[in-house]
Structure 1
Amino acid sequence: MRSKVTASLILVIVVAIIAGVINYQGLIAKNTKLVPKLGLDLRGGVRIVLEAQDTESAKATNDAINAAVSVIDKRVNALGVSEAVAVREGANSKRIMVELPGWEDPERAKEIIGKTALLEFKTEDGKVVVSGKNLTDAKLVFSQAQDSLGEPQIAFTLDAVGKAAFATATQANIGKKISIYLDSQVLMSPTVETAITDGQGVISGGFTAEQASNDALLLKSGSLPVKLVAISEEVVGPSLGNAFVRRSALAAVIAFLLVVIWMFVMYRYLGLVSGIALIIYADILMAAYLVLHATLSLPAIGGAILSIGMAVDANCIIFERIREELGMKKTVKSAIGAGFSRAFRAVFDSNLTVLVGTAFLFYFGSGTVRGFAVTLALGVLASMFTAVFASHMLVDLLLTPGIVRNSRKFLG
């Protein structure tokens, strides 16, 4: 029996130390691989909600909306915004939520994110010879020609299919114009002087450097397969985000202390054990957030604070069961064994119910709701380890002969 308690103690200590090292690296040493990710509402930035709409040329189908999310994700990542998010609001929703932490210009964000960016090369008779899907690269360059020195341009490179098609089209249209359209607007209509066979070229359209850079980004990311309209936008200032962080941290500390005090008042020795287990729980939970790169937003922190209560809920069930066993005139040791054993089914069922609920929230919810579901699910899983396993080990380890003889001191 003692060897079993010793083995359990070693396991709990090892897990707690590993979690502590992870937390130190992420929170104090600021290891870039483990630094906590802050959501938009804590860091500040822009949140835009787009809605897909049907048009004559493209219907807002599930596949089209999923493809649009992929394109937007490429665009926001190409902007260089750290921890940018583009997610669909629900499995069957037509809405896409985009979050740009640290971004301050919603108008430019809408222009870049919601623009269709359909590039087409058309001959004089309106035939499309190459489109944006044939691009492999697009970037901002500055003209080296004497008549347009320093003018911002977009240099493009075509894939093998586009290269062959463009070579054939330019060969067949020497002396004629091939117009370049972006979202049905003519950018330029140069006259073909010779066949272009290397699959490379430049687009000039009277761009500013910012316009050329933005359009190059859009072209490289691909065109949107469906029309998107911005239906809401929100700007969160970083100062407001910092205030949220402070208040959330304070709320977590207060909740933690109140739970520990309440458990001690209600369960005496077992309440003290529950407090130690809760510290181990917080250590493990924070490490899990850092390792899994969970984004901490206000709803996510709300889920974490809620999970503090969930963490001791299992202890309450077990301790009440132990109290019932003591009321049946059992010894303290036998009451502990029976209490943990017989309460496990109820604890497991209640936690499983919460996990099923979080799974539905994650699948059907939007980004912030998903954050709440993830943190709550991680909290439930961590509490299963600390409440059922670590608490049992601590009760056995710290049980002194004096407490064994005095059940009132043991449980109040």
Structure 2
Amino acid sequence: MKKKSAVLLVLSVLVIGILSYIGAFGLNVGDYRVKSFSQMLSKGLDLQGGVSVVEEIQGKADNTAIEKTIDLINLRINKLGVSETAVSKEGNNKIRIDVPGKFDKDEVINLIGKTGKLTFKDPNGGIILTGDDVKDASASISQETQKPIINLELKPAGTKKFAAATQKFLGQKITIYMDDQKITDPTVDVAITNGQAIIEGSASLEEAKNRADIIKSGALPVKLKVVQSQIVGASLGADALPKSIFAAEIAIGLIFIFMLLVYRIPGLMANIALVLFIVLVLFIFVTIKATLTLSGIAGLILTIGMAVDANVLIFERFKEELKLGKPVRSAFEAGFHRAMSSIVDSNVTTIITGCVLYALGIGQVKGFALTLVIGVITSMFTAIIVSKHLISWAINIGLINKASHFGVNLRGDNNA
């Protein structure tokens, strides 16, 4: 038991240490590069500047039309090469578009407001089909060639027009345009009479999917009018981001010192769990492709404090049990059990609050709420699971075996 606990404790600390190092500095393994969190996290408009536009929907539109409009705007903006674009509904009839790192306001507004005319043109520039003739478009990997393809399905009217065109222009190119932008120009290999075509030539499945989405998108289902537009300078983020990071470093450092001074060795175990908490939260942000904003950083710092708060509750319960004269192991089990209800109640109410904020809030409020919920759930895991096991292993190997190791001064220490 003692040997097993020692091995598990050492391995856990090593794994957490390695993950922390990779997260902070990245890692080179041969030709493969594991990026650090700072390189992988997408930064919001307030951190790197960009263009912010609010469009008002003209006339009436149902939720389906609005959601489709948001999806199409996302497709159009992403053609600028900006992957961190945030397009969201604001109020009942407005759509906000935040484009980080892009400072040409007119280009963004022009791209959003385009009608989105899809056309299939023959080699002479004549229009064969329009977006109204397209029923569906999707991407997949060809079972025969193992290369990415676009599966095109046409409506009955489009099927007839396309059949005539593919018979006429056999061996020639038919070019597909969205407005004036060429999407793809496949060569006609065979006459297509059933309204189901396969378009080859995409470099990757992702490219094929993007092309298929654009072909399927067509025009915006609602008319939009710009009611607000502004350029957000990068100077705000350049000044605020370093200060926010510095504040977070000071806060974390003070927490580490406090836990060590007040709770001694258990405090050290809690600090190790806190490091894992930070790594896990940032990893989740990268995984879900969350955009980091100033409000998100504030939420992260807040959840770090809440993660420590759970450990403080547990340790104070430990102290109470030790002062009653219980051995360390018994005090550990009883204190942990007594602290659970308080931890769960406080965290669940915070999660509910965060969910309400996310559901009803807009813009940066959503970012703060998302960070808060992710942080609280992760903090419960590190406090209830990770800290408990680290301390349990430390008790098993004798690293914690008397009340003074918890910062409790008794006349006679009770060993485990």
* Alignment correspondent of 1:47: 52
Give yes or no for contact 1:69–1:87 (8 Å, CA) kept in 2. yes
Tell me the equivalent position of 1:192: none
Q: Deviations over 1:302-357 (max 9, x none)?
A: 11111111111101111121122223232333212211122122212222222223
The match for 1:261 among 254, 257, 263 is 257
Report what 2:101 is aligned to: 102
Question: 1:389 and 1:11, CA in 2 relative to 1: closer, same or farther beyond 3 A?
Answer: farther
**Structure 1 equivalent of residue 204 of structure 2:** none
Could you tell me which residue of structure 2 aligns to residue 23 of structure 1?
A: 23
SS at match of 1:104: coil
Tell me how far 1:228 sits from its aligned partner.
1.7
Q: Cα distance 1:47–1:315, how it changes in 2: closer, same or farther (>3 A)?
A: same
After TM superposition, the score normalised by the length of structure 2 is 0.69
Task: Provide the alpha-carbon RMSD of the alignment.
Answer: 4.2
Give the aligned partner of residue 89 of structure 2: 88
CA distance in 1 between counterparts of 2:18 and 2:156 reads 53
Gaps of 5+ in 1: 121-128, 138-156, 171-194, 204-210
Q: Which residue in 2 is equivalent to 1:282? A: 278
| Aligned-residue identity in percent | 37
TM-score by length of 1: 0.70
Cα distance in structure 2, aligned partners of 1:18 and 1:364: 39
Cα separation, partners in 2 of 1:199 and 1:60, compared to 1, 3 Å:
farther
Where 1:80 maps in the other structure, the secondary structure is coil
Which one is further off, 67-76 or 346-355?
A: 346-355
Aligned residue for 1:389?
Answer: 385
Give the C-alpha shift of residue 165 in structure 1: 6.8
CA contact (8 A) 1:83 1:101 kept: yes
Q: Which residue of 1 aligns with 2:62?
A: 61
Which residue number in structure 2 is paired with residue 71 of structure 1?
Answer: 72
Which structure has the bigger radius of gyration? Answer: 1
Matches of 1:363 and 1:402, distance apart in 2 = 46
**Is the Cα–Cα contact under 8 Å of residues 260 and 275 in structure 1 kept in the other structure?**
yes
Deviation at 1:130, TM superposition (A): 7.1
Distance 1:396 1:228 in 2: 61
Aligned to 1:407: 404
Q: Find the aligned partners of 1:71 and 1:99 in 2 and give their Cα distance.
A: 15
Aligned length: 349
> What corresponds to 1:358 in structure 2?
354
Instruction: Please list every run of 5 or more consecutive structure 2 residues that lacks an aligned counterpart in the other structure.
Output: 120-127, 137-151, 185-210, 410-416
2-structure distance, mates of 1:408, 1:32 = 36
Asked if 1:330 is matched to 2:326, the reply is yes
Residue of 342, 345, 353 corresponding to 1:346:
342
Read off the aligned partner of 2:109 and give its amino acid letter.
K
Partner of 1:140: none
Q: Per-residue deviation at 1:98? A: 1.2
Q: Given the superposition, is the C-alpha separation of residues 398 and 158 from structure 1 closer, same or farther in structure 2, using an over 3 Å criterion?
A: closer
**Residues 164-313 of structure 1 mapped to structure 2, 5 A cutoff:** 212-213=180-181, 221-313=217-309
Distance 1:257 1:76, change over 3 A: same
Q: Which residue of 2 aligns with 1:180?
A: none
Q: Which residue of structure 1 lines up, in the alignment, with residue 9 of structure 2?
A: 9
The Cα of 1:245 is off from its aligned counterpart by 2.1
